[in-house]
């Protein structure tokens, strides 16, 4: 069995704590002979800034390029609020996305039945919820140029960000959404603000044409992004796959994941296109952030991080067996009533980050 080359980037805040639990799983899978990893470790975000003065070093970028997959925990925190814009923690994450060309971000919003009461929505609205948000990740207002602040003659400042999308960028993310829908409930909701944005207008045009040409069997609907935000709150189960741009995807996926009451449990995958040799870059991360307020307390939920490792096994390493084992172990500990504080609900007690990691390894 050849080893999977994995770059682990614990990042900031609770990142190192939850990464340690993922490493327990990595070690266990290796010892059990289920999956062999060659793990490199690197720095990203504030921790990279503290060490190297940049949000990710050239050395770590080279490791990311060489790896089969990157497993990243989270970046950012108030400690780095004052650092220059170009080296702020998020710049490391954005560079990884851009340089590895990870254009397709898959963000599931799943409500685990055991956690339906943890949602702020009424139970019947979210119980069994299973949405997949497909977010475009290397274009739009995140990367378009010009992106600058200039000082005007009158002393005022003027800031500009540019939203840009081209036909092929929209087509390739649309394809990812339609393909996923075919394996799910066969419905795609494409979302933009075609009523006020030219990029939204083009988005709708390209998705409509792609649908007609290549995916007429999939049900397609268009919904304005503001209306979609509303509908997520009103009746989330109407959605199957949501396909949207970088900025709307950022907001809508956060709203969707919060509905589930399972924020600490949701993994995500960011995938590139395959090159001539068939190699495809990929990065896996929890949907939650670095949670600086609870960092260092040993109470963070490692499940999204361990689930992200599971996604890596499934999508990058083609090891569905190991991925299933991880998903089952997570379901197993939940069924036993084990809860970290974020998903505690009415449970009598909660366990620590390390206890949750240990319990998942024991279950494996």
Ligand X SMILES: CC(C)[C@H](C(=O)O)[C@@H](O)C(=O)O
Q: Which is nearer to a second copy, 231 or 352 (CB)?
A: 231
Query: Shortest CA distance to 243 belongs to which of 197, 175, 292?
Result: 175
> By CB under 8 A, is residue 276 in contact with a second copy?
no
Minimum CB separation from a second copy for residue 245, in Å? 11
Q: Catalytic one among 250, 284, 315, 342?
A: 250
Report the C-alpha gap between 55 and 48 in whole angstroms.
Answer: 5
Interacting residue with ligand X among 3, 51, 160, 196 (CB under 6 A): 196
Q: Which of 35, 63, 104, 121 binds a second copy (CB under 8 A)?
A: 121
* Of the candidate residues 250, 256, 281, 299, the single one contacting ligand X (CB under 6 A): 250
Answer for which of 65, 166, 167, 195 binds ligand X (CB under 6 A) is 195
CB 220 within 8 A of CB 190: yes
Q: Which helix (H) or strand (E) holds 283?
A: strand 282-286
328 touches ligand X by CB under 6 A: no
Question: What is the distance between the alpha carbons of residues 43 and 52, in angstroms, rounded to a whole number?
Answer: 9
The smaller minimum CB distance to a second copy, of residues 78 and 113, is found at 78
Q: How far is CA 318 from CA 69, 315, 364, in A?
A: 12, 6, 19
Q: Which is nearer to a second copy, 83 or 101 (CB)?
A: 83
**From 101, 114, 255, 354, residue interacting with a second copy (rule: CB under 8 A):** 255
Per partner kind, with CB cut-offs from 5 to 8 A, the member of ligand X, a second copy, none near residue 125 is: a second copy
Among 362, 355, 323, which Cα is nearest to 340's?
355
Structure tokens at 347: 């449970």
- Rounded to 5°, angle at Cα 86 from 80 and 90: 55
Quickly list DSSP for 11-53: ESTTHHHHHHHHHHHHHHHHHTTS--EEEEE---THHHHHHHS
The residue of the chain with the least Cβ separation from ligand X equals 90
Helix (H, G, I), strand (E, B) or coil at 185: coil
How far is residue 351's CA from residue 353's CA, in Å, rounded to a whole number?
7
Site string for a second copy, 50-79 (x = CB under 8 A): --------------------------x---
How far apart CA 137 and CA 114 sit, in angstroms, is: 31
Q: Which of 193, 219, 327, 358 is catalytic?
A: 193
8 Å CB contact between 241 and 177: yes
Nearer to a second copy, 10 or 200 (CB): 200
What is the distance between the terminal CA atoms of the chain, rounded to a whole angstrom?
20
Half-sphere exposure of 306 (CA within 13 A, CB side): 37
Is 49 known to be catalytic? Answer: no
Among 226, 275, 293, 324, binds ligand X (CB under 6 A): 226
Known active-site residue 250: yes
| Owner of token pair 């919820």 | 129
> Would you count residue 212 as binding a second copy (CB under 8 A)?
no
* The two three-digit tokens of residue 241, written as one number: 């796959």
Q: Is 12 a catalytic residue?
A: no
Q: Are strands 282-286 and 267-271 parallel, antiparallel or unpaired?
A: antiparallel
| Beta carbon of residue 207, minimum distance to ligand X (angstroms, whole number) | 20
Indicate the helix (H) or strand (E) that contains 102: none
The site partner of 234 among a second copy, ligand X, none (C-beta below 5 to 8 Å per kind) is a second copy
90 is in an annotated binding site: yes
Query: Which parts are annotated binding residues for NAD(+)?
Result: 77-90, 289-301
Query: Which parts are annotated binding residues for substrate?
Result: 97, 107, 135, 226
Query: Which parts are annotated binding residues?
Result: 77-90, 97, 107, 135, 226, 250, 254, 289-301
Q: Which residues bind ligand X (CB under 6 A)?
A: 76, 90, 93, 195-196, 226, 250
- Give me the active site residues, please: 142, 193, 226, 250, 254
Q: Which residues bind a second copy (CB under 8 A)?
A: 76, 85, 88, 90, 94, 120-122, 125, 141-142, 144, 147-149, 152, 156-168, 193, 195-203, 206, 225-227, 229-230, 232-235, 247-248, 250-252, 254-255, 257-259, 263, 289
């Amino acid at each position: 069995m050849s080893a999977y080359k994995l770059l682990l980037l614990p990042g900031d805040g609770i990142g190192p704590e939850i990464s340690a639990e993922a490493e327990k799983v990595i070690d266990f899978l290796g010892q059990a002979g289920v999956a062999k990893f060659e793990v490199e470790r690197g720095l990203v975000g504030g921790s990279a800034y503290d060490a190297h003065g940049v949000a990710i070093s050239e050395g770590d970028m080279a490791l990311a390029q060489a790896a089969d997959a990157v497993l990243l925990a989270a970046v950012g925190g108030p400690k780095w609020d004052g650092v220059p814009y170009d080296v702020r923690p998020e710049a490391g994450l954005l560079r990884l996305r851009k340089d590895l060309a990870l254009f397709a971000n898959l963000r599931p919003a799943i409500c685990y039945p055991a956690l339906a009461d943890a949602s702020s929505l009424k139970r019947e609205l979210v119980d069994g919820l299973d949405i997949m948000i497909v977010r475009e990740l290397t274009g739009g207002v995140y990367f378009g140029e010009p992106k600058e602040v200039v000082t005007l003659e009158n002393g005022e400042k003027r800031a500009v960000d540019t939203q840009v999308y081209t036909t092929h960028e929209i087509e390739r993310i649309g394809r990812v959404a339609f393909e996923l829908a075919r394996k799910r409930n066969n419905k795609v909701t494409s979302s933009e603000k075609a009523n006020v944005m030219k990029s939204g207008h083009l988005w709708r045009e390209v998705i409509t044409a792609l649908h007609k040409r290549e995916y007429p069997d999939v049900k397609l609907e268009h919904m304005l992004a503001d209306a979609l935000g509303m509908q997520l709150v009103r009746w989330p189960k109407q959605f199957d796959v949501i396909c949207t741009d970088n900025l709307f995807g950022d907001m809508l996926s956060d709203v969707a994941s919060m509905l589930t009451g399972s924020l600490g449990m949701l993994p995500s995958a960011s995938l590139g296109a395959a090159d001539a040799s068939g190699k495809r870059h990929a990065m896996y991360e929890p949907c939650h952030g670095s949670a600086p307020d609870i960092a260092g307390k040993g109470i963070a939920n490692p499940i999204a991080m361990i689930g992200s490792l599971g996604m890596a096994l499934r999508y990058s390493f083609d090891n569905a067996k190991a991925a299933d084992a991880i998903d089952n172990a997570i379901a197993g500990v939940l069924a036993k009533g084990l809860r970290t504080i974020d998903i505690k609900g009415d449970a009598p007690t909660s366990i620590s980050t390390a206890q949750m990691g240990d319990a998942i390894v024991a279950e494996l």
